[in-house]
Structure 1
Amino acid sequence: MKLSLGPVLFYWDRQQTLDFYADMVDLPLDVIYLGETVCAKRRDMGLDDWLGLARELTQQSSAELVMSGLTLVEAASELSNLRRLCDNGELLVEANDMGAVQYLSEKRVRFVGGPALNLYNGYALAELVNSGMQRWVPPVEVSGAMIRSARAQLTELGVAVPEVEIFAYGHLPLAYSARCFTARAENRPKDDCQFCCQNYPEGIPLLSQEGEALFTINGIQTMSASVSNLLADYPALVECGADLLRLSPRASGMVEVVEAFDAVRKGGLPPLAVDGCNGYWHGQPGMLRAEEAGLC
């Protein structure tokens, strides 16, 4: 089982971003994703900066470097930047938008299908595999049973099964909007947000009227309130055919997270339970833990 470090979903300034990857480079990671996937206004790190960082990391780590593209493309300038990313000529690209899939397919360039693509069965997967998708990151709400079913359908169709990379740790990215919720929370217009996302390195908790944590707001992105953690489900991840486990960056504690997953994949016993949620993996509401759903 390989471990991957997903793209940073929050807006950190340039120095915090560089410091984060300096901490990650010596960890036992097999794949590292770089790039901005949430908001094109987050410009502390442009495409050239990300590519430069990738070159530096290549000199320091044996991990595969992958460039991730935007999930929501809203303007011609963003489409232009997406094309530049797809044409980088150096690194594999994670497509998080069907526009990127179309462009990469036309160029006959192999790619990673990101979790924002709506791929839920073997027939949809077959279309993208035939278009050049070599690795599939299922949507975060997909259960282990659905992944097994999709793999079986691909086999029945006679289509090669791509690598499967499961989102195994982090705040789950649930939805995207043209509206910026963080700017609205600070009573700012989106076009004059003053990059206020940087004030919240792990997003803004959104509570119900009863004070229950429901979501995390991250610019135009709505995320889970709880951190999803599938470490206790490691045997089931292996059984469903997962090839990689994605660990999504947080502002603190990532060294310990990587080390915990690495210990289990090397033969250590997985914990009986973990903090956070894992309901989606078990086909239940995502905010639940398996224990709450009566599955343990």
Structure 2
Amino acid sequence: MKLTLGPVLYNWEPSVWRDFYFRIADEAPVDTVCVGEVVCSKRLPFFQDLVPEVVERLAAAGKEVLLSSQALITLERERRQTASLAREADLLVEANDVTALAHLVGRAHAVGPYVNVYNESSLAWLARNGARRVCLPPELPASSIAALAKACSDVELEVWSFGRVPLAISARCYHARLHKLTKDNCQFVCGKDPDGLPTDTLDGQAFLSVNGVQTLSSTYANLIGSLPDLAAMGIAACRLSPQTCDMVAVASAFRGVADGMLDPAEGQHALDLICVEACFSNGFFSGTAGAHHTAAAAV
């Protein structure tokens, strides 16, 4: 099974963003790496000039690089950026909004987890459009994943397997509003929370995490215990979403279980030590409440 590192979803300092990918290139046992701004186009200018350098370093290390498009297009400027990326990129583009799909017809491309692929017909349509791999939405249960894997052999399927789960994205910026700022004058306050801003319920229970215009889960999705089940379904890759924990160590734990060098319980123990402050979940996969976690999610 392949491992994919998804794009950085948070507003990291440009030097931190660059050095993160450099370390991934040199040390992480992942096969594919996604690069690009998915959440907020206002962040892109800060690291855009670093993208060629990062792509070159990743490619030199033998990683396949995907260029990820934005997940929600609300402005004409963003529409033009998406069209330009889809039409002119030399690398495989990952479409995270249907806006990009119109510019990718007949060309090999990937489809990200922000495009709703809930049934066999949608998957077949994407394949006819040119999709060669699809990262399924993270809220799908194991039964649906298995059905999709069985229905379409022309597309490599990928499953969200680690990291905060993207739940919603909006035209409004929660971070800016919290700091009594407007979206147009946000002062990039989301950069103060490089792993997302924790949001609790009124009675103090961890609930969600806010990342600018994006709402994420409080928990980290963690399917390391279900890698054998995913492999048996025919899933081609697992996606690891970058967090501020040691992602090289996270990738190594997943690689160990995927390759049979670690059993799932050993992999889980490794993640417990790496992500000491994180709470894990696999409820979506097991068909229960998404925030729940069981030792081994049943297929």
Whether TM exceeds 0.5 here: the answer is: yes
Task: Give 2:120's match in structure 1, choosing from 119, 122, 127.
Answer: 122
Q: 1:138 aligns with which of 117, 136, 139?
A: 136
Could you tell me which residue of structure 1 aligns to residue 25 of structure 2?
25
Say whether the 8 Å CA contact 1:9–1:249 is kept in structure 2.
yes
User: For 1:51-106, what per-residue CA distance to the aligned partner results, in whole angstroms no more than 9, with x for missing partners?
Assistant: 342123222x101000000000111111111112112341000000001011111x
RMSD, aligned α-carbons: 1.8
Letter in 2 for 1:250: Q
Q: Structure 2 CA distance, aligned partners of 1:286 and 1:222?
A: 14
> Could you say which residue in structure 2 is the equivalent of 1:13?
13
> Match for residue 177 of structure 1?
170
1:246-296 CA deviation, whole Å, 9 max, x = no partner? Answer: 110012221210111111122121117565000001111110012599x69
Q: Secondary structure at the match of 1:188?
A: coil
What CA distance in whole angstroms lies between the structure 1 residues aligned with 2:58 and 2:263?
31
1:85 maps to which residue? Answer: 85
Q: State the partner residue of 2:212.
A: 219
Query: Contact (CA 8 Å) 1:96, 1:114: kept in 2 or not?
Result: yes
Q: Distance between the aligned counterparts of 1:183 and 1:117, measured in 2? A: 26
* Secondary structure of the corresponding residue to residue 121 of structure 2: helix
Q: Does 1:258 align with 2:260?
A: no
Residues of 2 paired with 1:9 and 1:70: CA distance? 10
Match of 1:164 in 2: 157
**Secondary structure class of the residue paired with 1:127:** helix
CA drift at 1:241 = 1.5
Q: Is contact 1:141–1:281 with CA below 8 Å preserved after alignment? A: yes
Whole-Å Cα distance in 2 between the matches of residues 234 and 216 of structure 1? 26
Please state whether the residue corresponding to 1:103 is helix, strand or coil.
coil
How much does 1:152 deviate? 3.1
Alpha-carbon distance in 2 for matches of 1:150, 1:242:
10
Aligned match of 1:157: none
**Matched residue count:** 286
Q: In percent, how many aligned pairs have the same letter? A: 35
Q: 1:115 to 1:162 in 2, by over 3 A?
A: same
Question: In terms of mean alpha carbon deviation, does 145-154 or 118-127 score higher?
Answer: 145-154
Change over 3 Å in CA distance of 1:266–1:161 after alignment to 2: same
| Contact 2:25–2:57 under 8 Å retained in 1 | no
Give the structure 1 partner of residue 104 of structure 2: 104
Contact 2:87 2:103 in 1 (8 A): no
Cα distance in structure 2, aligned partners of 1:49 and 1:82: 18
Deviation of 1:199 after TM superposition, in Å, equals 0.6
Residues 3 and 253 (structure 1), Cα distance of their counterparts in 2 relative to 1, 3 Å cut: same
- AA of the residue aligned to 2:286: H
Structure 2: which amino acid aligns with 1:271? A
Which 4+ residue blocks in structure 1 deviate beyond 4 angstroms? 272-275
More helix per residue: 1 or 2?
Answer: 2
Go from structure 1 to structure 2 and tell me whether the alpha carbon gap of 1:290 and 1:252 turns closer, same or farther (over 3 Å shift).
closer
Deviations 1:23-62 (A, max 9, x none): 111221100100000001103122x532342123222x10
Residue 264 of structure 2 corresponds to 270
Which residue of the partner structure matches residue 75 of structure 1? 75
How far 1:132 moved relative to its partner? Answer: 0.4
SS in 2 for 1:130: helix
The answer to whether residue 223 in structure 2 is matched with residue 230 in structure 1 is: yes
Tell me how far apart the structure 1 counterparts of residues 174 and 132 of structure 2 sit (CA, whole Å). 34
